[in-house]
Chains A and B, each alone.
Chain A
Amino acid sequence: MTLALRQTWALGRRAVAGTFRFPQAWFPSLFFPLLLMAIFTASFDRGIALIPGFPKVNGYLDFGISGTVLQGVLIGGVSSGAFFAGDIERGFFDRLVTSPVSRVVLLTNRLVAGIVLAAAQATLFVAIGLAFGARMEGGVAGFVTLIALAGLLAVPIGGLGILLALRTGSAEAVQGSFPLFFALMFFSSAFFPRETMTGWFKAVADVNPISHLVEGMRAQVIEGFRPGAAALSLAIIAGFSVLTVGGSAVALRRRLGAM
């Protein structure tokens, strides 16, 4: 067991180092969410007070920052999946498989790296938000809850990335799934409240679990420390984790069995 932990640690460190040493791996997941946050804040900061039904917030930044965190984790998950697929393409995966590493470690090392990266990234985003005047109503407890949720969110998202990597074995294919993630995110309340939506768009956002997930995160920022809302987010994360990590375990078994 301790060996498995050491292996996870060593491989997880490699995954983190691999992300930091590849600008194309970390740049998009920092740049695009921050860009969107800046644009939305500049566009809507004053307008939101005039929109009927928009939750009472200090400014758009307070509202949007959870969406930004979510977006960062999504992009990070896609990058991580692409990285995994790259390992398969380059043959590094074969090297791992021919070494006495437990099959579980093959998955956990990436998930652990994903958690670390996502939490670090979320911390950075929130710090930037606070520097630009956002207010954390939930205080330290809310902040920690938000970061923890962001880190844990890397598990289902990373699991999906790994699943795609194992099924396709192609970094390009995994990268290609990116617009799908994005569409899912925009058809949710990640950046705008469901209260202001109408028609079928609202119907989709209402059933989109990402809405409820992000709202649980957002509550910590705009309302105060809300364990109940966080628990709902956690439940959604756990549910999806079972699906995607379970799916990638099956995909791993299939790949190793068929190989």
Chain B
Amino acid sequence: MNEAILAEGLVREFKGGIRAVDGVDLQVRPGEVYGFLGPNGAGKSTTVRMLATLLRPTGGSATVAGFDVASEAKSVRRSIGVALQDAAIDPFMTGRELLHLQGVLHGLSRAECRSTADRLLDRVGLTEAAERRVGTYSGGMRRRLDLALALVHEPVVLFLDEPTTGLDPTSRLALWEEVRRLNTEAGTTVFLTTQYLEEADQLAGRVGIIDGGRIVAEGTPQQLKAEVGDPALVITPADPERRDAAQEVLVRFGPEVEARPPGTAAARLPGGAARVAEAVRALDEAGISTASLDLHQPTLDDVFVAKTGRRLEGHGGGESPAAGRGKRGRRR
């Protein structure tokens, strides 16, 4: 097996001629964590559903774990673990029952089912809740069980479709930790779709950005951020009237940043921090006093904006390239 996932010109056209996925090429190496980023309706889930044999491609081809998703679907299914959006879990069954059932579906013996269930429950921290019906689980517990279910047969490739959407920050961190551990310890290839740039930044070795059914950018988070360019200097003038004047000063140092919070002026600053003092002096000379000043290192958010001209959902409104955040962004 050369590539864990290989897609060439993958297309899915729905009735009415809508091309949800419009010629996607993917190459994911074994052991890689690949982040698949895009807003709702960009074609993320449709792509995953095709790779996970839930949806037949209408064009192009794809192999997963070396097997063709169309002609060797059964072999693909043996090799993959799938945790789809909205944790597909029976509310009336207990966690242990579901794990046991999943084991049988994958052909594990009774004894294997039992030991696997014990091991995975322990691993995702659900041993105590194992005999409770899933209907009583919290959102985070469901996702963890969902992950455990996807791991029953020790898959080579794991598909996680928006694994942390709707989770609180603590649960999100716990799930990230688990995915990381899985990847480093078992060497599982992970294909992760997300709307959260932070998630991709945290987990993925490589990121693909999909928009309108096409991949618009791909690379390591570092590469993509570097592509966006230099850090942005964002200032809020003390006198809102002087914003335009402040912007005029800043563009002398670098290109204007279009996506910025209202009432601020912003420009990319080649040379970064070294030139902040210079810019501040220039503002000073122009008689503009600043209420706040921020040097914003590019994030995947910025990559997304640069590539698609839009922000991701949950990142709109007051969120800015500089609105006081390093690692922590505002989340839904």
A residues contacting B by CB (< 8 A) are: 3, 6-7, 10-11, 14, 17-18, 21-22, 90-92, 94-101, 257-259
Instruction: Determine if A6 and B104 form an interchain contact, defined as CB atoms under 8 angstroms apart.
Output: yes
State the CA gap A99–B78 with chains docked (Å).
7
Q: Max chain B CB contacts within 10 Å: which of A14, A18, A92?
A: A14
Q: B180 contacts the other chain (Cβ, under 8 Å)?
A: no
Q: Does B90 contact A (CB under 8 A)?
A: yes
Does residue B206 face the partner (Cβ distance < 8 Å to A)?
Answer: no
Instruction: Please determine whether B92 and A98 come into contact, CB atoms closer than 8 angstroms.
Output: no
Partner-contacting stretch, out of B46-54, B258-266, B300-308, B318-326: B46-54
Interface-side segment among B81-89, B225-233, B281-289? B81-89
The interface residues of chain B lying within 8 Å CB-to-CB of A95 are 82, 84, 88, 102, 149
Instruction: List A contacts of B49 (CB < 8 A).
Output: 259
Complex A-B: 10 CB contacts under 8 Å: A6-B104, A10-B101, A14-B93, A14-B97, A21-B133, A91-B88, A95-B88, A97-B54, A99-B106, A101-B105
Q: Which of chain A's residues has its CB closest to B74's CB?
A: A100
Query: Binary interface profile of B, 37-59, with partner A (CB < 8 Å = 1, else 0)?
Result: 00000000000010011111000
Instruction: Tell me whether A21 and B106 are in contact (CB under 8 A).
Output: no
A94 and B77 contacting across the interface, CB-CB below 8 Å: no
Say yes or no: is B147 at the interface (Cβ < 8 Å to chain A). no
Q: In residues 124-138 of chain B, which contact A (Cβ within 8 Å)?
A: 133
B107 at the interface (CB under 8 A from A): yes
B235 at the interface (CB under 8 A from A): no
Residues from chain A with Cβ under 8 Å of B53 in the complex: 97-98
Establish whether residues B84 and A91, one from each chain, have CB atoms under 8 Å apart when the complex forms. yes
Bound-state CA distance A160–B88 (Å) is: 25
Provide the main secondary structure of the chain A interface: helix
B90 and A18 within 8 A (CB): yes
Q: Is the CB of A10 within 8 A of B105?
A: yes
Given contacts A14-B101, A91-B84, A259-B49, contact A98 B89 (CB under 8 A): no
Chain A residue with minimal CB distance to B102?
A: A99
Residues of B within 8 A of A6 (CB): 104
Q: Which of A18, A96, A258 contacts B92 (CB 8 A)?
A: A18
Q: CB distance A92 to B89 under 8 Å? A: yes
* Contact A98 B90, beta carbon cutoff 8 Å: no
A10 touches B107 (CB 8 A): no
**A7 with B88: CB separation less than 8 A:** no
Contact A98 B77 (CB under 8 A): yes
> Does B5 have its Cβ within 8 Å of any Cβ on chain A?
no
Asked if B77 and A99 sit within 8 Å, CB to CB, the answer is: yes
Within 57-106 of B, Cβ neighbours of A (below 8 Å) are at 74, 77-78, 80, 82, 84-90, 92-93, 97, 100-102, 104-106
- Extra contacts, 17 of them, besides A22-B92, A91-B87, A98-B54 (Cβ < 8 A), are A6-B104, A11-B101, A14-B93, A14-B97, A90-B88, A90-B89, A91-B84, A94-B54, A95-B149, A98-B77, A99-B105, A100-B77, A100-B105, A100-B106, A100-B107, A258-B56, A259-B55
Q: Establish whether residues B88 and A94, one from each chain, have CB atoms under 8 Å apart when the complex forms.
A: yes
Contact B56 A98 (CB under 8 A): no
Q: Which of B56, B86, B88, B149 has the most CB of A within 10 A?
A: B88
Name B84's contact: one of A3, A17, A94, A259 (CB within 8 Å).
A94
| A98 and B86 within 8 A (CB) | no
The digit string for B256-275, where 1 denotes a CB below 8 A from any CB of A, is 00000000000000000000
Say whether B90 contacts A3, CB under 8 Å. no
By a CB distance below 8 angstroms, the chain B residues around A257 are 56
Complex: A257 Cα to B53 Cα, angstroms = 10
Nearest first, the 9 closest Cβ-Cβ pairs linking A and B are: A91-B88, A10-B104, A21-B92, A99-B105, A98-B82, A100-B77, A95-B88, A100-B78, A259-B55
Instruction: For B90, give its contact among A92, A97, A99 (CB under 8 Å).
Output: A92
Per the bound structure, the CA–CA distance linking A94 and B105 in Å amounts to 13
Q: Quote the shortest CB–CB distance from B79 to chain A (angstroms).
A: 9
Instruction: Give the docked Cα–Cα distance between A91 and B49 (Å).
Output: 12
Whole-angstrom CA separation of A22 from B90 in the bound complex:
12
Chain A residues positioned under 8 Å from B102 (CB to CB)? 95, 99
**A17 surroundings in chain B (CB, below 8 A):** 92-93, 97
| Also in contact, A259 and B54, with CB within 8 A (given A95-B88, A100-B78) | yes
Most chain A beta carbons < 10 A, residue from B49, B53, B90 = B90
Nearest B-chain residue to A102, judged by Cβ: B74
Contact string against A for B residues 237-272, beta-carbon threshold 8 Å, 1 for contact and 0 otherwise: 000000000000000000000000000000000000
A205 to B93 alpha-carbon distance, docked (Å) = 43
Q: How far is the CA of A94 from the CA of B48 in the complex (A)?
A: 12
Determine whether the beta carbon of A90 is less than 8 Å from that of B90: yes
Cα distance A23–B25 in the bound complex, in angstroms? 49
Chain B residues within 8 Å of A94, by CB = 54, 82, 84, 88
Kindly list chain B residues whose C-beta atoms are within 8 Å of the C-beta of A22: 92
Instruction: State A244–B319 Cα separation when bound (angstroms).
Output: 55
Instruction: Give min CB distance, A25 to chain B, whole Å.
Output: 9
